[in-house]
Structures are given as structure tokens and as C-alpha cells.
Amino acid sequence: MESLLELQPLFWQAVIETLKIVSISLIFGGIGGLLVGLALYTTRAGGVLQQRVVNGALNVLVNTFRPIPFIIFIAAVQPLAREVVGTGIGDPAAIFAISLAATFGISRLVEQNLVSVPEGVIEAARSMGCSPLRIIFTVLIPEALGPLILGYTFAIVAVIDMSAVAGFIGGGGIGNFAIQYGYRQYDYVVTWAAVIAIIVIVQLVQFFGNWLARKALRR
């Protein structure tokens, strides 16, 4: 217990670092996932931007990278991270890997939720003379907003989960804190403090996401 009191400044720093890694990754992964998801959905057969080749290529890409366990993925993309963010270790490399993995994961969530928008509603918009872009932003996304928010909430929780692995390539955050000061020192109090911090963050995210989705669905 004393050790936790002693480590308190480090603990709070780890919490802040986790929040930083998660939010930056979410900005990139969230937008990337939205774009790839929209592309997956709109280029499919019968979509408003039907493009067989593009759709096929995207599907192969997403299907190849999405199932890779994150702890392997983060190591595997290290060379790519070095190219893109200039380093293969630390927070920037972790953020890069998480953003990439989140893009693949979120793209499927987005695609699945857009599929749930009735075909007829899109046909109605087409019959009014809406352009594909207008259909995407004024029909598809608003119509799927409730489930999309729930999907993103799920994705945020998954990203928090991924961020715990950042320590593996020298990134910081709660996961790293738990391993370094809890697991390696056999200090269960410290480990559990980290666990509780993660639980609290996840609960807050889930609560907020549910509330927002309810508002969007008016239920």
C-alpha cells in the first residue's frame, strides 16, 4: 500500500498518458475507420459508388490485418512505424500501431452499421437527385447514427485495451505502469490499482456512449 502512495505521481502520469495515447489513436483510427468503412460500404455491388476492384482490394486488406492479435501486430508494424513516424518505439510508434489496427477494426463496424440502413431510404434519396456524397453525409450517416455511436463506444473500449500493450514497445500508460511496478515487483496492490483505473475509464466511456446513442435514437 505504501508503495502505491509512493508511486502515486507515476500512477497519475500513467493515467494521463493512457488518455493521451487513446485519444490521439482514436482521432486517427476513428476517422480512418470511418473512411475505410464508408468506402467498403459504398463501393460494394449496388452501392452508390459501386467499384468492384476497389471493394475487393479493401476487403482483402481489412481481412488480412484485422485478425492479427494486437501484441503481434504492434511488433510487426514496427518497420512501417519507423518509416511513417520516425521511430519504432515509444508512444508515437504505439499510437501509430493502434491507429492502424483501429482503422481496420472500426471500418467493419462502420460498414455493418451502414448496411442496416434500409435500401429503400437510399433509393428515395437517389430519386430526389441527391449526389453520392450528399447521400453519404445527409442520409446514410444520420440514419445509422445511433448504432454507429454504440459501435464507436465499443471501439474506444477496444482501443483502451490495445493501449495497455503499448509498454511492450516502450510506450507508457497504465498497462506499462502495471507491468513495471506491479507485475515485475509482485505488488498486487499496484497491479489492481491499474486494473481499477482501466475499469473506471471503460465504464465512463460506455456510460457516455450509451447516453449519446439513446439521444440519437430518441429512445
* Grid cell 439513446 in the structure block, residue: 214
Q: Which is nearer to another protein, 52 or 184 (CB)?
A: 52
Looking at this protein, which amino acid is placed at residue 121? V
- How far, in Å, CA of 186 to CA of 206, rounded? 31
CB-wise, 139 or 197, nearer to another protein?
Answer: 139
- Nearer Cβ to another protein (6/123): 123
- Tell me the torsion sign for CA atoms 39, 212, 158, 184: positive
Which residue has cell 460500404?
A: 41
Q: How far is the CB of 132 from another protein (least distance, A)?
A: 9
- As measured in angstroms, the least distance from the Cβ of 32 to another protein is 25
Cα separation, 61 vs 35, in Å, equals 14
CB of residue 55 to another protein, shortest distance in Å: 17
| Residue with cell string 507485475 | 183
Q: Which is nearer to another protein, 184 or 214 (CB)?
A: 214
The site for another protein (CB under 8 A) is made up of 118, 120-121, 123-124, 126-131, 134, 138-139, 142-143, 145, 216, 218
Instruction: Pick the closer one to another protein by CB: 10 or 216.
Output: 216
Task: Give least dist CB 54 to another protein, A.
Answer: 18
Kindly state the smallest distance separating residue 50's Cβ from another protein, in Å.
12
- Residue pair 187/175 in contact by the 8 Å Cβ criterion: no
- Cα–Cα distance, 21 to 15 (Å, whole number): 10
User: Do the beta carbons of residue 132 and residue 49 sit within 8 Å?
Assistant: yes
CA dist 37 and 134 (Å) reads: 16
